[in-house]
Structure 1
Amino acid sequence: MSGFAIKYPFFIIMMCLMIAVVGVVTVARMPVDLFPHINIPVVVVATFYSGMPPEQIESDITGRFERFFTLGSGIDHMESRSLPGVSLIKIYFQPGMNADAAVSEISNLAMADLRRLPPGTLPPVILKFDASSLPVCLVTLKGTGLTETQLRDLGQYNVRNQIANVPGSSVPMPFGGKYRQIQVYVDPVKLQANQLSVMDVVRSVNDSNLILPAGDVRIGPKDFNIYTNSQLPTTEEINQLPLKTVGNASVMVGDVGRAMDAAQIQNSIVRVDGQKSVYLPVLKQGGDSNTIAIVNGIKASLQDLFDVPKQLVAKVVFDQSIYVKTAIRNLGNEGGIGLVLTALMILIFLGSMRATVAVMLSIPLSAFAAFLALNIGGSTINTMVLGGLALAFSRLIDNSVVVLENIFRHLEMGEPPQEAAEKGGREMGLPVLAATFTTAIVFFPVIFLYGVSRFLFTALALAVVLSLFASYAVAMTVVPLFCAKFIHKVEADEEEGHDLRRSRFGRFVRWFNHKYEAMLAKYDVTVGRTLMRPAATVIGILGVCLLTLALYPLLGVSFFPRTDPGQFMINIKAPTGTRIELTDQYVKKIEDDIRKIVAPRDLGVIVSNIGVQPGFSSMYTSNSGQHTATVQVSLKDGHEVGSYEYMRRVREKLADDLPELSTYFQSGGLVDAVIN
């Protein structure tokens, strides 16, 4: 490879330029996320039967489906919840299974078992998720003068439709608010006096509120469709509907009751900073969805909202992209600092700027080559990939340093630069390749990992291995070519060294080499004394090993390091059967306690979700009834007290003030959500 590079320098230069240019473009376009895509398919089966109690849902729908779904292949485990009128089943499949095949199989099984369900059961809704389908932000809606009914309608029919087209996002139905409903209140005494029943009122309203096709009329060159429109635009017209005719007089709806523009009985309440509101959760779809791009797209869509009242305030809260940006930026900064320190160490040890440049070329070229390969494989830029590259930085230059030192040895023997570069690279080809394989083989056991660990550490291993082999190619081609063109003979180096010795840096290098040689001399003496006392040396090493083993039980064990996401969540459960109004009072007390405990300079926003609306929304919340609630707390950037410390304080306060409640705390960050 070295001889080829020296013989065809323009080809190597063009390849390096191509890798650099395409690498920069690739890095700019690659999706950015916190973790790699975790391909663990999850299929959710939601079945609705309005009014059926949870016990009946469990026995007649959930249990039957669960038994039938065991016929599916590749299922890891199932989780289910039976709520009033709603059956929810989550089917987790083996890692790596095709998600579309999983949905197809579960759909076939559900349809086959549908005829055995209670009469009147709606066909199940089947949705596809995976372990990466997580909430990336919440869109809260509030406004002065807007009722909960108006906020609900705006969220469901206006805002949601305008933000749901952001690529990679999934926007469920809104939480909170009230469903608008036209209700007719009747007086039982007046009904009985007019010999009418409630069904007479229902029949009259239904028969008088229709749009029916009445054929078409062809007039000249035109063909007009005719419709009979008897829809009722106002509640007053409902009050004027006839129910019964007695003689020349008619009994109207208004004679036995009144129609009102009202709302359904509320089963879900949302408050944002104490004000009743509505929020839309924004989830990231699986695959190569980009968390940062999704949140940026949502924010851009909210700025361009149309057909909404001016007083409507739509705001993004619990923005997970901030944490992703911070993590990626911090890791990039640490990698940059490591790169600078590595360059300084090479410059100090080699004492030559040209030699340092020759070695440092291996890091950007190897990194860009690794990104190109990862992009072809469908990877993203994430903390595991960047961590793998940062881990490999010091190892990437080893191959180049070994080749460079061998080329210098040939130069010291008086060989011409081109010959020294060709021989020095060729002689080191096999040893450097063996060393590269030795390092890469360490990551081979990653293929035996299972579950989330496999997806996390496979990305890290790929980043390290790909960059290592790219560094081998650079060491065998670019370094010999650079040395052949820019590294002079020993005589020239000595002349350059004379100029170097007169500079401040030259004096520093000379001082450093003197101290380093003195340290090596002391090291030689220490090694000599150690070898003269083998028994004591072995006993000392064994003692250190035993001490470390004794300290191991004192260390904490965790799958992933704890991080401060700047937010936390409280899951609340009141005694079963508690009305939503009382649960709301409990949550207000908890919100007050949070405002007392969390310093105003640290507190960002509090979003409370009380109860659950039977329907699609129940798939996206942990609430199971009117007696349950969740309180999400967001801290400001740069908060002085950590999230876990605030969680501890709030937990102790709630245990003292509200012992009748069951509470469960979560950090609310992406790390815990993905790992769990």
Structure 2
Amino acid sequence: MKFTDIFIRRPVLAIVVSLFLLVLGLRSIGLLPVLQFPRTENAVVTVATTYTGADAGQVAGFVTTPLENVIAQANGIDYMTSTSTPGVSVITANLRLNYPSDKALTEINTKVNAVLNRLPPEAQRPVLNVKIGQTTDAMYIGFSSKTLPPNKITDYLTRVVQPQLQAVDGVQTAEILGGKLFALRAWLNPRKLAAYGLTAADVHTALANNDYLSAAGHTKGQMVKINLTASTSLHSLSGFRNLIIKQHNGAVVRLKDVAKVTLGSEDYESQVAFDGHQGVF
């Protein structure tokens, strides 16, 4: 007796099996993955370092080169590119296809931390950022005001708008273009500096020595313990203006005597405009 004879003698069984296979096939159609291309992950790790006041050659020699040498030792890197501009070093590490981005970011961060003592003291700590996949700018939102300056608009966007946009599902990052961060601007007068026998380095030293926070430890008695903090940081524009730069024979030279001190932006080298009005994107 052949196997097919069972279904000939029992037609009801044959119908039930056929219906079962039909239902199973229909159910499987919706579960089959349909991909035009295979699923891939292409990540890019960016290391940005700020070295204020340095030209492109100094940035390349003292910041970019040491970082490139250690980042190249990390696993999973396909190729690297770097740019050195006045005051800024940017190193881009393109990872191999489907290499875990979290693992590469951790290893690159470890390599960068190991070489921090070789960077110039004036250079800021490198900032690492990872982007996965092909990033596309889906929308540009412009902010401008007739009453608020760009630095106040940037402060509002950083504190309120940017966190909400980054919390939206599917948004990888929300970047601020043309932002102006708050910064103290001391416009030095060379004639007044020469008259008082001062240089720009003397002003820089005075600012560095009089604007810092120090942990002084703690004091405790039998029942009480108090933490001590020595704060000499300046918090107001008037405090910076009255900062003592030099003392000689009872005479005091303050920062306002040799410079015009204002609260402005970190840089004025670029700006963003929309319909002829300066703004922030």
Q: Same fold (TM over 0.5)?
A: yes
Post-superposition CA distance 1:500-535 (Å, at most 9, x none) = xxxxxxxxxxxxxxxxxxxxxxxxxxxxxxxxxxxx
Cα drift, residue 232 of structure 1: 3.7
Alpha-carbon contact 1:5-1:12 (below 8 Å) kept: no
Match of 1:88 in 2: 90
**8 A contact 2:62–2:120 mirrored in 1:** no
SS of the residue 1:7 aligns to = helix
Structure 1 match to 2:238: 236
Report the 3-state secondary structure (helix = DSSP H, G, I; strand = E; otherwise coil) of the residue aligned with 1:236.
Answer: helix
* Aligned twin of 1:142: 144
Q: What corresponds to 1:623 in structure 2? A: none
2:183 equivalent in structure 1? 181
AA in 2 matched with 1:166 = V
Change (3 A) 1:151 1:117: same
One-letter code aligned to 2:247: K
AA in 2 matched with 1:161: P
Contact preservation (8 Å) 1:48, 1:122: yes
CA distance 1:99–1:204, change in 2 (3 Å): closer
State the Cα distance separating 1:278 from its structure 2 match: 1.0
SS at match of 1:163: helix
Given that residues 44 and 126 in structure 1 are in contact (C-alpha distance below 8 angstroms), is that contact kept between their aligned partners in structure 2? yes
2-structure distance, mates of 1:227, 1:116:
27
What is the CA-CA distance between 1:86 and the residue it aligns to?
A: 3.0
Is 1:6–2:8 an aligned residue pair?
no
Aligned pairs (5 A) from 1:409-428:
none
* Residues 37, 229 of structure 1: alpha-carbon distance in 2 compared, 3 angstrom cutoff: same
Identity score, percent = 25
Equivalent residues in 2 for 1:436-455, closer than 5 Å: none
CA change 1:93–1:253 in 2 (3 A) is closer
User: What do the CA deviations read for 1:193-245 (whole angstroms, capped 9, x no partner)?
Assistant: 55555555445545554555566677998765454555444323333344426
Alpha-carbon distance between aligned partners in 1 of 2:61 and 2:243, rounded to the nearest angstrom? 44
Map of 2:3 onto structure 1 = none
> Which residue identity is paired with 1:145?
T
Instruction: Give how far 1:176 is off.
Output: 0.8
* CA shift in 2, pair 1:5/1:229, >3 Å: farther
On the 8 A contact 1:37/1:132 being kept in 2, the answer is no
Which whole-Å CA distance do the structure 1 matches of 2:174 and 2:128 have between them? 14
For residues 250 and 189 of structure 1, the distance between their equivalents in structure 2, rounded to whole angstroms, comes to 18
Separation in 2, partners of 1:108, 1:8 = 61
| Distance across 1 between alignment mates of 2:75 and 2:181 | 41
- Cα pair distance change 1:194/1:5, threshold 3 Å: farther
CA distance in structure 2 between the partners assigned to 1:158 and 1:99 by the alignment: 29
Q: Deviations over 1:557-582 (max 9, x none)?
A: xxxxxxxxxxxxxxxxxxxxxxxxxx
* Deviation of 1:269 (Å): 1.1
Closer/same/farther in 2, CA of residues 47 and 220 from structure 1, 3 Å limit: closer
Question: 1:264 matched to which residue of 2?
Answer: 266
- Counterpart amino acid of 1:170? Q
Distance 1:54 1:35, change over 3 A: farther
Q: 1:4/1:226 Cα in 2 relative to 1: closer, same or farther (>3 Å)?
A: farther
Letter in 1 for 2:276: G
Secondary structure at the aligned position of 1:39 is classed as coil
Output the amino acid matched with 2:262.
M
C-alpha contact (below 8 Å) 2:49/2:90 kept by paired residues: yes
The answer to whether the 8 A contact 2:47-2:90 is kept is yes
- Provide the residue aligned with 1:97 in structure 2: 99
Q: Which runs of 5+ in 2 are unaligned?
A: 1-6
TM-score (norm 1): 0.32
Following superposition, the deviation at residue 181 of structure 1 comes to 1.9
For the residues of structure 2 that align with 1:134 and 1:149, how far apart are their CA atoms? 27
Amino acid at match of 1:98: P
Residue pair 1:156, 1:173 contacting (<8 A) in 2 also: no
TM-score by length of 2: 0.66
Is 1:43–1:92's contact at 8 Å kept on the other side of the alignment?
yes
Greater per-residue helix proportion: 1
> Match of 1:183, as an amino acid?
R
The 5-angstrom pairing of residues 95-494 of structure 1 reads 95-104=97-106, 106-107=108-109, 114=115, 119-120=120-121, 124-171=126-173, 173-213=175-215, 225-242=227-244, 243-244=246-247, 246-247=249-250, 250-279=252-281
- Structure 1 residues 445-486: Cα deviation after superposition (integer angstroms, max 9, x where no partner): xxxxxxxxxxxxxxxxxxxxxxxxxxxxxxxxxxxxxxxxxx
Corresponding letter in the other structure for 1:270: V
**Counting strand residues as a fraction of each chain, which structure ranks higher?**
2
The answer (yes or no) to whether the contact 2:165–2:174 under 8 Å persists in 1 is: no
